[in-house]
Structure 1
Amino acid sequence: MNTIRIPVDGGLSIVADELGSQSAATVVLGHGGGQTRHSWDRAGLDFAAAGYRVLNYDLLGHGESDWEPDGDYSYLRRAADLGHVAAQAQGPFALVGASLGGLAAMVAVAGGLRPGALVLVDVVPRLAVAGVDRIVAFMSANPAGFASLEEAADAVSAYYPDRPRPRDPSGLARNLREGADGRLRWHWDPRFLDSRDDHGRVMDLVESSDWGADVPTLLVRGMKSDIVDDDGVASLRALVPALEVVDIVDAGHMVAGDRNDRFNEAVLGFLRRVMPPER
């Protein structure tokens, strides 16, 4: 694995892990809001083992990527960033985006980026409002941070009770920063949450595009999720008549984290058909 920095607009840079052979078709992994590229670690290894080159990146304002000085985390900005990441591919590429990463991918494709395949992970243009509000409430709930990793783990468990609380919360350290006051805060720029006000524009951009006609698209839905409902799936199918859908019964919104085995099986089966790793 090689960690690289990719220049994007405004003199900023995106950090990405690069896995696999550069001669293979590329899979670009975009994580959800409030996560980092490490949410894809297992998937990235499996995709590389299957013969793909993988670019697993931290979205702007997340993880090790730069924070936007003016707080511009609009979806158009994220789509432009994704274009710079995809430009690192030396041949065919697929976009795999979870939640926020999936919204960025849809806007990028609606704006003219043409991947060999698009995989949307529990995200559609028309999200269930109640589910979105619940996520934003969690992410906004602790502006003063946490005194310890255990306290942060308690907050995650309260939000996501279906996932067992880890006995050792040290893995959370990758998602937290220690401030000058010694308290731990999530590893993202809190101003990115303001971008949700831009969501109406996302729907306008996506729904006015004909991208669904020529980009093979898979939706992987977590059936325990309150983000994507049947109406949301129908709205996406109206844009992408040939849409393929895989429902993972025992997974929530963080599908790859809940059932990585089922997720990888579904995505690799789709990619091998529509964009084999060999060029």
Structure 2
Amino acid sequence: MEFAPPAAVSSFDLSLQGAGIDLAATRHDASATAATPAILFAHGFGQTRRAWSATAAALAGRGHAGLAYDARGHGGSGRNAAGEAYTGQQFTDDLIVLAGELPRPPVLVAASMGGLFGLLAEARWPGLFRAMVLVDITPRWETAGLERILGFMTAFPDGFASLEQAAGSVTAYLPHRQGRKSPGSLRELLREGGDGRWRWHWDPRLVDELARDSDRHQDAIAEATRAVRCPLLLVSGGRSDLVSDRTVADFLELAPHARHVQLADATHMLAGDDNDRFTATVLDYLAELDRTEGTGQPSLAHRAPAPVTGANP
């Protein structure tokens, strides 16, 4: 199934203020009157807001206006000043600020890193989100999968001599994908330095300051998850090496009201691997949310009774 958005869908870039930092963002809207974003998209570690472009356009074309942003240290967003380490608290605060500025609680659609900070944000501020869609991320994860991701991110410290060389590295990292990334499609993800070499868009400090020892935060994230009462959907990849049957079972024990859908042929890069099925899954879930809330049934609508403190790494 393909989701070609109608011509009425428009997207425009803007700058937003996070927790003391400028964040690059894109609005996706099918309304001439600029409807309030119903969906807030948060990308994974090392990605940008562009990872959501196809899904966001398809959802907007069906009446779900969206807002996608680059996390701090990624893409077009600001970077921490020299000497200011990146912390999970900062990323969680950014998300709280963005969602809190919207007139109504959005549905958070969040991959990997974005999903973890979404859980922490909702636990700290119950009712921040109408619901959450976690994209191949659970409060506890497989260390081997994380090490593979960080291995790729740190494999080319001196960058690439050309966009073509960068495309080759992506093909080797994602051998299951059909076709090769065109150099032009990677231009958004790399920056050309004064030495003529191309380097990834993220701040390299993120690896050591935020991700390298992130396993030690799993207990805190698990406790935050236990406090989340808003509707939750986990969409996992059947070929993911970060999320496994073990981590899914643990997540469902922590959040027994959550639902789980697995896309059997997808890896951790789920939305990119099978975007049509992923988008269809999100659309089905949004429709179910609307139906449930319209009838007053409680099965998808839960709220935490009080904020959780001390849960942010």
TM-score (norm 1): 0.93
Q: Name the CA distance, whole Å, in 1 between partners of 2:241 and 2:97.
A: 32
Please say if residues 162 and 197 of structure 2, whose CA atoms lie closer than 8 Å, have aligned partners that are also in contact: yes
One of 23, 35, 39 as aligned partner of 1:27: 39
Report the counterpart of residue 68 of structure 1 in structure 2. 80
Query: Match of 1:40, as an amino acid?
Result: W
- The Cα of 1:66 is off from its aligned counterpart by 0.5
Query: Match of 1:132, as an amino acid?
Result: L
2:176 is aligned with 1:162: yes
4+ residue stretches of structure 1 with deviation over 6 A?
none
Report the counterpart of residue 211 of structure 1 in structure 2. 227
Query: Match of 2:281, as an amino acid?
Result: A
- Tell me how large the CA RMSD over aligned residues is: 1.9
One of 224, 246, 250 as aligned partner of 1:231: 246
Please say if residues 124 and 232 of structure 1, whose CA atoms lie closer than 8 Å, have aligned partners that are also in contact: yes
- The Cα of 1:110 is off from its aligned counterpart by 2.0
- The Cα of 1:50 is off from its aligned counterpart by 1.5
Q: Name the CA distance, whole Å, in 2 between partners of 1:236 and 1:158.
A: 31
Q: Name the CA distance, whole Å, in 1 between partners of 2:13 and 2:92.
A: 21
Report the counterpart of residue 160 of structure 2 in structure 1. 146
Calculate percent identity across the aligned residue pairs.
39
Aligned partner of residue 17 in structure 2, secondary structure: strand
Please say if residues 75 and 198 of structure 1, whose CA atoms lie closer than 8 Å, have aligned partners that are also in contact: no
Q: Name the CA distance, whole Å, in 2 between partners of 1:269 and 1:104.
A: 24
Give runs of aligned pairs for residues 263-278 of structure 1, distance below 5 A. 263-275=278-290
Report the counterpart of residue 16 of structure 1 in structure 2. 25
Give runs of aligned pairs for residues 113-124 of structure 1, distance below 5 A. 113-114=126-127, 115-124=129-138
One of 58, 70, 80 as aligned partner of 2:93: 80
Query: Match of 1:55, as an amino acid?
Result: L
Report the counterpart of residue 68 of structure 2 in structure 1. 56
- The Cα of 1:164 is off from its aligned counterpart by 2.7
Report the counterpart of residue 151 of structure 2 in structure 1. 137
Please say if residues 23 and 90 of structure 1, whose CA atoms lie closer than 8 Å, have aligned partners that are also in contact: no
Q: How many residues align?
A: 276
Q: Deviations over 1:234-275 (max 9, x none)?
A: 111111102111111121111111111100010111122225
2:120 is aligned with 1:107: yes
Distance 1:192 1:71, change over 3 A: farther
Q: Name the CA distance, whole Å, in 2 between partners of 1:133 and 1:199.
A: 11
- The Cα of 1:102 is off from its aligned counterpart by 1.1
Q: Unpaired runs of 5+ in structure 1?
A: none
Q: Unpaired runs of 5+ in structure 2?
A: 1-10, 295-313
Q: Name the CA distance, whole Å, in 2 between partners of 1:238 and 1:73.
A: 31
- The Cα of 1:73 is off from its aligned counterpart by 2.6
Distance 1:273 1:25, change over 3 A: farther
- The Cα of 1:206 is off from its aligned counterpart by 3.6
Aligned partner of residue 3 in structure 1, secondary structure: strand
Query: Match of 2:24, as an amino acid?
Result: V
TM-score (norm 2): 0.83
Q: Name the CA distance, whole Å, in 1 between partners of 2:110 and 2:12.
A: 21
- The Cα of 1:92 is off from its aligned counterpart by 3.1
Q: Name the CA distance, whole Å, in 2 between partners of 1:27 and 1:218.
A: 14
Q: Name the CA distance, whole Å, in 2 between partners of 1:223 and 1:209.
A: 22
Report the more deviating stretch, 87-96 or 20-29.
Answer: 20-29
Please say if residues 171 and 180 of structure 2, whose CA atoms lie closer than 8 Å, have aligned partners that are also in contact: no
- The Cα of 1:156 is off from its aligned counterpart by 1.1
